[in-house]
Structure 1
């Protein structure tokens, strides 16, 4: 794409030069990546609430999940979420194993796992 067309794609400010537009866009790139990941992996855009207060609470929970995931993995959001999902899966398997060792009926296990 020719540089003169960048004005139409990246900015509504016709006074900015192409280099300025690219610099601003580069500065926003990490923000754009965060929102894409938050939408794809944390369902940031999946809320079904209408009140402003509820939306703010939903965003707070999503952002806390993001920060917690990154802190736990000490890497990035994707790695953190993968780690937390793995831990959850392991916990479920351990729960089922321990319940089976204690001869807990399968119906009770299903009920506790909320799958029955």
Structure 2
């Protein structure tokens, strides 16, 4: 409860994975959506990183719900493959990212 006797509005949290091969732009997509920034330089994600964004969504009763999206940037490089599956727990969705100019990155999605 807050100091004035009112409960603080609850915020639903949703864990969303962003997965795909290495160097396809997962981190760039997350940074753009969560922070409104774009960095063209490539930096390898080691293991996992995450960002958050608060949004509101309409509910069936006409009210709005506060939602916190946790965007988990899962490393795409093969050498991290064995350790990244542990981060999949409790995720409600996955965004799959691949590079249209490199068909091998699409093929890697199926693995």
* TM-score, length of structure 2 as denominator length: 0.21
More strand by share: 2
More helix by share: 1
Higher Cα Rg: structure 1 or 2?
1
